[in-house]
């Protein structure tokens, strides 16, 4: 892991302090995140709140992630996301440059945070996942770790009443992806990302599972877990 520069340390410390003032953050399960090695962190995306919470609470691990390109239109957000070396991504198209930078981050042993939903849910309920994460995982060979955040969806309501918000971070079991063939159809890619999303859904309270509420429909045909005979997870 690379040492943080002074501006990054100052900003991260300040943000972590601010989030702990306005929220009660239950981050106990983050101790289950591997301390080294490339890792794709698959997470849900509720609102702005989980980004600084997840980023600062995973320190000192080196972590980056994708953010919509329009984020850089705001000077303050551009400064912050440049400081974090976030990767701008053009939504609704195959952004090969973003993919290249994501793979490079994994090659360097970083955590790459990916929200397969591709946008904020606002209400905390899962939306259907998009298959970009499938290509990242298969090309890099990196394990995927499901991590969900819930509680922050009522932040704005609480802050108006000067109430702190309880935010919970829940960590699942890491796994690899396996592909039946070198070329995957769109339907297979969607099936794989749906299997990933069901891993997120299983970590969330029932009201937050959204389109993945019916856990009995979950499959694991393309997932390889650490205790599987085919797994090479360290």
- Decide if 34 is inside a domain: no
Which pTM value belongs to this model? Answer: 0.89
Per the CB < 8 A criterion, the answer to whether 167 and 63 are in contact is no
Q: Look at residue 1 in the predicted model and tell me its pLDDT.
A: 45
- Decide if 28 is inside a domain: no
- Decide if 24 is inside a domain: no
pLDDT-above-70 percentage for the chain: 93
Q: Look at residue 36 in the predicted model and tell me its pLDDT.
A: 92
Per the CB < 8 A criterion, the answer to whether 24 and 167 are in contact is yes
pLDDT at 228 over 90: no
DSSP letter string, the chain: -PPPPHHHHHHHHHHHHHHHHHEEEE-GGGGGS-SSS-EEEEE---STTHHHHHHHHTTTS-EEEEEEGGGGGSHHHHHHHHHTT-EEE-TTS--HHHHHHHHHHHHTT-EEEE-TT-S--SSSPPPPP-THHHHHHHHH---EEEEEEESGGGHHHHHHTT--EEEEEEE---BEE--SSSS--HHHHHHHHHHHHHHHHTTS-GGG-GGG--GGG---TTEE-TTSTT----
Sign of the alpha-carbon torsion through 140, 179, 33, 199 = positive
- Decide if 20 is inside a domain: no
- Do the bridges between strand 223-224 and strand 176-177 make them parallel or antiparallel, or are there none, so unpaired? antiparallel
pLDDT tens digits along 129-141: 999 999 999 999 9
Count of domains for the chain = 1
- Decide if 35 is inside a domain: no
Mean pLDDT of the chain: 90
How is residue 200 written in tokens? 């997120």
- Decide if 19 is inside a domain: no
How is residue 89 written in tokens? 């991504």
- Do the bridges between strand 63-68 and strand 39-43 make them parallel or antiparallel, or are there none, so unpaired? unpaired
Phi, psi of 47 (to 5 degrees): -155, -165
Q: Which structural domain range is residue 153 located in?
A: 40-224
- Decide if 30 is inside a domain: no
pLDDT at 72 over 80: yes
Question: Would you place residue 93 in the very low, low, confident or very high pLDDT band (cuts 50, 70, 90)?
Answer: low
- Decide if 231 is inside a domain: no
Question: Would you place residue 233 in the very low, low, confident or very high pLDDT band (cuts 50, 70, 90)?
Answer: very low
Q: Look at residue 3 in the predicted model and tell me its pLDDT.
A: 56
How is residue 12 written in tokens? 């991260």
């Amino acid at each position: 892991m690379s040492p943080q520069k002074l501006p990054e340390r100052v900003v991260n410390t300040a943000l972590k302090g601010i989030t702990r003032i306005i929220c009660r953050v239950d981050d106990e399960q983050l101790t289950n995140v591997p301390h080294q090695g490339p890792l794709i962190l698959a997470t849900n995306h509720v609102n702005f709140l989980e980004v600084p919470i997840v980023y600062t609470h995973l320190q000192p691990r080196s972590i980056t992630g994708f953010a919509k390109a329009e984020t850089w239109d705001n000077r303050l957000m551009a400064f912050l996301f440049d400081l974090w070396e976030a990767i701008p991504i053009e939504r609704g198209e195959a952004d090969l440059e973003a993919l290249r930078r994501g793979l490079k981050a994994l090659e360097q042993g970083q955590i790459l945070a990916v929200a397969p939903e591709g946008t904020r849910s606002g209400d905390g309920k899962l939306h259907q996942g998009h298959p970009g994460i499938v290509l990242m995982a298969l090309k890099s060979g990196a394990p995927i770790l499901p991590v969900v955040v819930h509680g922050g969806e009522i932040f704005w309501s609480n802050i108006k009443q000067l109430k702190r918000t309880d935010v919970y971070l829940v960590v699942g079991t890491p796994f690899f992806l396996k592909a039946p063939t070198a070329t995957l159809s769109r339907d297979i890619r969607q099936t794989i990302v749906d299997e990933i999303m069901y891993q997120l859904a299983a970590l969330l309270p029932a009201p937050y599972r959204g389109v993945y509420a019916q856990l009995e429909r979950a499959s694991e045909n393309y997932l390889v877990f650490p205790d599987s005979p085919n797994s090479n997870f360290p």
